[in-house]
Structure 1
Amino acid sequence: MPLVSDGLLTTHVGSLPRSAEVTELIFAAERGDPVDPDRFDSVIGAAVDEAVRRQVEAGIDLVSDGEMSKISYATYIKDRITGFDGDSPREPPADLEDFPSFLQRQAKGGGTPTYRRPKCVGPVAPRTLQPLHDDVRRFAAATAAHPSAGAFMNSASPGVIALFQPNEYYPSQDEYLEALAEAMRPEYEAIVAAGLILQLDSPDLGLGRHMMYKGRSDEEYISLIAVHVEVLNHALRNVPADRVRMHVCWGNYEGPHTHDVEMGVILPTLLRAKPAGLLFETSNPRHQHDWTYFREQAAAIGDDKVLIPGVLDSTTNFVEHPQVVAQRLRLFTDVVGRDRVIGGTDCGFSTFAGFGAVDPDIVYAKLAALAEGAALV
């Protein structure tokens, strides 16, 4: 994984704002409406090129395709692996259940994205890698036109697929997770084989505490997500650790977050995951203290681990001052050294197509502030 050269490198979590035209095409395809494949490829290709160009211009070193072709970071898999159909009921996070008036305001104000979340109703197995090959091809063209220090591509972890697309087929949750891991393995390996860094999106390891496993004790939760990490590691058995990074968060939404599991509780489990890179939130006001857990558990952080703290909030339109970015980064360089820290963001800026709290132009202004702050470090 590329690390520091002359300066501290920068990246982000993956998703970037999609245009109205891109969003319209994605939802048309989702509805099953006729979509001209040549137009889809052309529009998405142009959007990827624009996203890469703007990342490079903002000073981002490790860029992504912005997840332009995907309706969301987890449900896109229904077109790539078998076993999914229909829709599933929505369960609000536990913190929003405590504040029903805020939850209602979010729903009425468009703060809750609406899209289909199919459930598992049959055997899970690889269906096709063609959509991935299309993503890789478009991304390769964009990075050739706008070179950067490195490039990564997002993929859903088995745990986050299970979080948003519940099991109604397998006899147990463990069997479901194992099937998901094996079905997603070809995608993971293909991304790395294409010369890209693989990013596994794993909010189930944080967000899962107050959604998937709400009401469980911390001890029960740790036991449950240990299985998530185990199956993920097995799915990565043919992939070098230094070509993979893993993103963990507590939900990319403005809210009280009063039921978030503490980073100190889950950090030992996160460190057992194979990916060398670990992306996590530190700008969210509920998690700005989390750097102390890394200091307290510094001895457990292996020499092969790279910390990628989120030093930009992905839910507000404040543009962080570069000095604030630098201060946040130094908290982690003081723990593991400057050569094992990359500047990142709390979460994606458009985790669902057509949905994002931050104005598109402000997104790139924030990324520019990240680059400036990293340069100060």
Structure 2
Amino acid sequence: MTETLLQTTVVGSYPQPDWLVDRALLMKGVPRTRLHELWRVQEPYLQQGQDDATLLAIRDMERAGIDIITDGEMRRESYSNHFATALDGVDNESPAEIVNNRGQKTVVPRVVGKIRRTRPVEVRDMQFLRANTGKAAKITLPGPFTMGQQVHDEFYKDAEAMCMDYAAAVNEEAHELVKAGADVIQLDEPWLRNNPDEAQRYAVKVINRALQGIPVPTVVHLCFGYAAVVTGLKPTGYSFLPQLSDTIAQQISIESAQPKIDLGVLKDLAPKKIMLGVIDLSDPEAETPQKVAERIRAGLKYLSPDKLLPAPDCGMKYLPRATAFGKLKALADGAAIVRGELA
């Protein structure tokens, strides 16, 4: 049986229901430490509520016609803190405050000991997803480089050594996620473009360590940030992208619909498959299938159909649910249009 061309997928997150999270609090930023007050459901019933929300996300992705789905990350306060704060060596109770190059202050965990994974973090999430869909299923993990950029290091004093330990923890989790039924493993590494000089020194090394020995397709996702958080014009090019051709990941996921990057950069990533962002999450309206098809055709000028996976630019966490579903339906329908042209 031949593999479907132009398989559609999602980057990871889907909107959490308003009965599950405080959306006003969610919109204030992307938490690095735990944000327990985000949840509207009390602790004794929280897991049940998250499970119910996950079923809603799964069914929406199935109804929309997406080929490779996720659990929508319903159990996560952010894409990274769910896993990053569950590791040994991280002090989340007495966090530090760091200031970025734009003068913005962020509360982050402190690294006070050796980073180690001492228990499964997302394995039950993957088991639940696998038990509730017959679709191909992907699960995401924060990448080791990005996690190393989101903490205050008081132990290693060596960013590369710290990130290598993050990579080992990610790798242990990823192997267990495959055993739990994951068809695809994705690393989210948006901070590669925030600190390209440091990324140049060791990012490929730590990504390869995180993906070492994983027997299913692997993806590295990078973007310019959530449209709801990063307002205004986004860059039109990545400061760290061709280097990812040296990773062992089979797929690279990039944002292109909103920032309108020059797709000529895709030539630098041969022979990788590309998860190409063709859904603009800054647009409050759902694209038409014809607009999505047009964006896919633009990608096909540089990629063969078997190497392009149409996707949203980034996670859909911050969108209204009706908007997110409309965009996913347009994604599936737009891919079907182009698939029909290739037949």
Structure 2-normalised TM-score?
0.85
What do the CA deviations read for 1:126-159 (whole angstroms, capped 9, x no partner)?
1210x4232122212321xxx32x1100101101
Partner in structure 1 of residue 323 of structure 2: 362
Greater share of strand: 2
**Residue among 208, 232, 235 paired with 1:256:** 232
Partner in structure 1 of residue 283 of structure 2: 316
Report the Cα distance in structure 2 between the residues aligned to 1:128 and 1:3, rounded to whole angstroms: 38
Report the Cα distance in structure 2 between the residues aligned to 1:142 and 1:288, rounded to whole angstroms: 36
Partner in structure 2 of residue 8 of structure 1: 6
Shift in Å, 1:315: 3.0
Partner in structure 1 of residue 297 of structure 2: 330
Report the Cα distance in structure 1 between the residues aligned to 2:331 and 2:16, rounded to whole angstroms: 21
**How large is the RMSD of aligned CA atoms in angstroms?**
2.7
Does 1:171 find its partner at 2:157?
yes
Shift in Å, 1:277: 1.2
Q: Helix, strand or coil: the match of 2:140?
A: strand
Report the Cα distance in structure 1 between the residues aligned to 2:301 and 2:42, rounded to whole angstroms: 54
Structure 1 unmatched ranges of 5 or more: 98-102, 104-111, 210-220, 351-355
Cα–Cα, structure 1 residues 346 and 226, in superposed 2: closer, same or farther, change >3 Å?
farther
Contact 2:204–2:247, Cα closer than 8 Å, also in 1: yes
Partner in structure 1 of residue 243 of structure 2: 269
Report the Cα distance in structure 2 between the residues aligned to 1:59 and 1:204, rounded to whole angstroms: 31
Shift in Å, 1:292: 2.1
Q: Where does 1:105-120 land on structure 2 (aligned, <5 Å)?
A: 117-120=108-111
Contact 2:84–2:147, Cα closer than 8 Å, also in 1: no
Q: Which has the higher contact order (CA 8 A, sep 6+)?
A: 1
Q: Where does 1:1-377 land on structure 2 (aligned, <5 Å)?
A: 4-5=3-4, 7-23=5-21, 27-28=35-36, 35-36=43-44, 39-85=45-91, 86-91=94-99, 94=102, 117-129=108-120, 131-143=121-133, 147-148=134-135, 150-196=136-182, 197-206=184-193, 208-209=194-195, 221-222=196-197, 224-240=199-215, 242-252=216-226, 253-257=229-233, 260=235, 262-263=237-238, 265-284=239-258, 287-295=259-267, 297=268, 301-302=270-271, 305-350=272-317, 356=318, 358-377=319-338
Structure 2 unmatched ranges of 5 or more: 23-33, 339-343
Partner in structure 1 of residue 25 of structure 2: none
Cα–Cα, structure 1 residues 249 and 3, in superposed 2: closer, same or farther, change >3 Å?
farther
Report the Cα distance in structure 1 between the residues aligned to 2:292 and 2:38, rounded to whole angstroms: 38
What do the CA deviations read for 1:230-265 (whole angstroms, capped 9, x no partner)?
11102222213x52111111111342356x4833x5
Partner in structure 1 of residue 341 of structure 2: none
Greater share of helix: 1
* Larger CA deviation: 182-191 vs 58-67: 182-191
Contact 1:308–1:341, Cα closer than 8 Å, also in 2: yes
Shift in Å, 1:171: 2.1
Q: Helix, strand or coil: the match of 1:10?
A: coil
Shift in Å, 1:328: 1.1
Report the Cα distance in structure 2 between the residues aligned to 1:3 and 1:279, rounded to whole angstroms: 23
Q: Helix, strand or coil: the match of 2:312?
A: coil
Partner in structure 2 of residue 108 of structure 1: none
What do the CA deviations read for 1:22-60 (whole angstroms, capped 9, x no partner)?
326x954789x9721xx2232111111110001010111
Report the Cα distance in structure 1 between the residues aligned to 2:16 and 2:9, rounded to whole angstroms: 18
Report the Cα distance in structure 2 between the residues aligned to 1:346 and 1:34, rounded to whole angstroms: 33
Percent of matched pairs sharing the same residue:
26
Q: Helix, strand or coil: the match of 2:11?
A: coil
Q: Helix, strand or coil: the match of 1:153?
A: strand
Shift in Å, 1:281: 0.5
Cα–Cα, structure 1 residues 310 and 226, in superposed 2: closer, same or farther, change >3 Å?
farther
Report the Cα distance in structure 1 between the residues aligned to 2:273 and 2:46, rounded to whole angstroms: 37
* Larger CA deviation: 153-162 vs 133-142: 133-142
Cα–Cα, structure 1 residues 40 and 233, in superposed 2: closer, same or farther, change >3 Å?
same
User: Match for 1:8: what amino acid?
Assistant: L
What do the CA deviations read for 1:66-101 (whole angstroms, capped 9, x no partner)?
11111111111244311112223254564xx6xxxx
Q: Helix, strand or coil: the match of 2:132?
A: helix
Contact 2:83–2:122, Cα closer than 8 Å, also in 1: no
Report the Cα distance in structure 2 between the residues aligned to 1:254 and 1:78, rounded to whole angstroms: 22
